[in-house]
Amino acid sequence: MSKARVMVVEDESIVAIDITQRLESLGYEVTATASTGEKAVEMAKKTKPDIILMDIVLKGDMDGIEAAEEISKHLKVLIVYITAYSDEETLKRAKVTGPFGYIIKPFEDRELHSIIEVALYKHELEKKLTESNELFRAILTSLTDILFTVDSYGTLTMVSSGPLERYGLSEEDVTGKKIHEVFDDDINMEMVRRALEGESVSYEWTWSAHEEFHFQTTMSPLRDFEERITGAVGIHRDVTEAAAARKALEMETMINRSLAELSRKLLQPLTLEEILESIAENAMKLTGSRYSLAGFFESPGRLKNYSLGGDVLEECHVKGEGSEYLKMGGLWDWVLENRKPIMTNNPGEDPRSGGVPGDHVELSNFLAAPSILNGELAGIVAVSGKDGDYTERDLETVERLADIYALAIHRKLEEDRVKASEEKNRALVEKFLKIVTEVLEELK
């Protein structure tokens, strides 16, 4: 281990020499001596000692306490005061500079050695404690999860500051508040109560801050050295993305199941009206829409057959089901002309829109997909009135419905064609048989 480097500040030259010799005999390296406060500041900056033995009473304009204050502004160095005085006022002034000890003149070598070693040891402990605190704070800052502690009253005593900004909070906003005042969900206070009773708990909950977040939390009792429960420590793990993925998977499964059931249903003998009604109903259900429409084209821009879902008939003065034709326009025309789907969450400002009639339902959003049959436009599936915006998933769902609709229409038209052909053949056969019967009667 390297020798501790000591600087001596003493205005009595004989005393300074004596202290220097003592230090060297004890195994320390004396970096410099100074007799005034000004010289002490200069030599401390120059030699950068580990510890300074500073006489409080010095000649000149700067005493030892003032010199220590000035040195501390520039260096992290241990100060041990040497004084022949121990009056309360002097000690009070000296305390402000944060010294590591005092030694009263006259002193023995053993006292000198002890005070230096204790000061060095305390300094090393403080250094390690500071490093540990800095490391702990760095860890807390880098955490993506919210680590927290609460006292026996459920008051937050510590919260890791790193992730708080994401939720619009700061460490100052939450420390000192009840846990339910910050994370406004009753389940947190209930779990704190259980942790304070000695139970380790794990639970999931939803927090509605500036947006909705999902958390998975674990919490355990916090005990002191005598194993008494003084609070609880816990960690909130943000599982919003995982919850969204799980919800998306559940939604995808539900959509696939619904579309599979719809496909099986459409394999049964159905009328065109029943097909349209099934498509419109599923479009509304699978996208969370208030309104829906499924229609079949017999001429460009005009729906010969269509089905309206939801509250359209009650809220809109368009022709109801059973009318011969429904004239299309605006966003509908764009779908027809381009044969591409359209999704807009602000129809009023969409340049493709031709406006909405005054007696039409209000369109806060709109989604439509064409149904293409053998390269020809056969129909359209459209929805509107969803709470919130339509998403790419909604668009994909409506497109899949349009494809299923096209297949169902194709099958229906083929069935009708075959049926019409059979009826025509039957009529021809019946006519032929009638002619044959009449000829045979005449021959008789």
Give the pLDDT band of residue 86 (cuts 50, 70, 90). low
Average pLDDT over residues 296-309: 61
pTM, two decimals, is 0.47
Residue 43 has pLDDT above 90, yes or no: yes
Among the ranges given (56-65, 111-120, 327-336), the one the predictor scored with the smallest mean pLDDT: 327-336
Work out whether strand 212-223 and strand 201-208 pair parallel, antiparallel, or are unpaired.
antiparallel
The pLDDT assigned to 48 comes to 92
CA 402 remoteness from chain centre = 36
Contact residues for 282 (Cβ-Cβ < 8 A; gap 6+) = 258, 259, 262, 401
Asked if the domains at 5-139 and 144-238 fall in one CATH topology, the answer is: no
Residue 255 has pLDDT above 70, yes or no: yes
Average pLDDT over residues 74-79: 87
The pLDDT assigned to 325 comes to 46
Average pLDDT over residues 318-332: 53
Give the pLDDT band of residue 322 (cuts 50, 70, 90). very low
Among the ranges given (26-35, 83-92, 227-236, 315-324), the one the predictor scored with the smallest mean pLDDT: 315-324
Average pLDDT over residues 282-304: 76
Residue 118 has pLDDT above 60, yes or no: yes
Superfamily for 5-139?
Response regulator (3.40.50.2300)
Among the ranges given (29-38, 175-184, 370-379, 416-425), the one the predictor scored with the smallest mean pLDDT: 416-425
Determine the Cα–Cα distance for residues 52 and 327; give it in Å rounded to an integer: 96
Residue 229 has pLDDT above 50, yes or no: yes
Determine the Cα–Cα distance for residues 42 and 71; give it in Å rounded to an integer: 9
Residue 204 corresponds to which amino acid? E
- Mean pLDDT estimate for the chain: 80
Say what percent of the chain tops pLDDT 90: 12
The pLDDT assigned to 39 comes to 92
- Compute the Cα dihedral for 248, 249, 252, 258 and give only its sign: negative
Pick the CATH number of 144-238 from 3.30.450.20, 3.40.50.300, 3.30.70.1380, 3.40.50.10860: 3.30.450.20
Average pLDDT over residues 92-115: 81
The CATH architecture assigned to 245-422 reads: 2-Layer Sandwich (3.30)
What does each C-alpha distance from 94 to 18, 68, 425 come to in angstroms? Answer: 24, 9, 120
Residue 3 has pLDDT above 50, yes or no: yes
Give the pLDDT band of residue 8 (cuts 50, 70, 90). very high
Give the pLDDT band of residue 430 (cuts 50, 70, 90). low
Q: Is 295 helix (H, G, I), strand (E, B) or coil?
A: strand
Say what percent of the chain tops pLDDT 70: 79
Largest CA distance in the chain: 166
Assigned token pair, 212: 């909705």
Q: For the beta carbon of residue 10, count every other beta carbon within 10 angstroms.
A: 24
Better pLDDT: 50 or 186: 50
Walk across the sheet containing 101-104 and list its strands: 29-34, 5-9, 51-55, 78-83, 101-104
Residue 11 has pLDDT above 80, yes or no: yes
The answer to whether the peptide bond before residue 106 is cis (omega within 30 degrees of 0) is yes
Per-residue model confidence as pLDDT tens digits over 257-289: 877 887 787 777 777 788 888 888 888 888 888
Assigned token pair, 241: 């993305």
Average pLDDT over residues 302-314: 57
The pLDDT assigned to 221 comes to 92
Give the pLDDT band of residue 47 (cuts 50, 70, 90). very high
Average pLDDT over residues 163-189: 81
Q: DSSP of 29-40, one letter per residue?
A: EEEEEESBHHHH
Better pLDDT: 248 or 238: 238
Domain borders along the chain are: 5-139, 144-238, 245-422
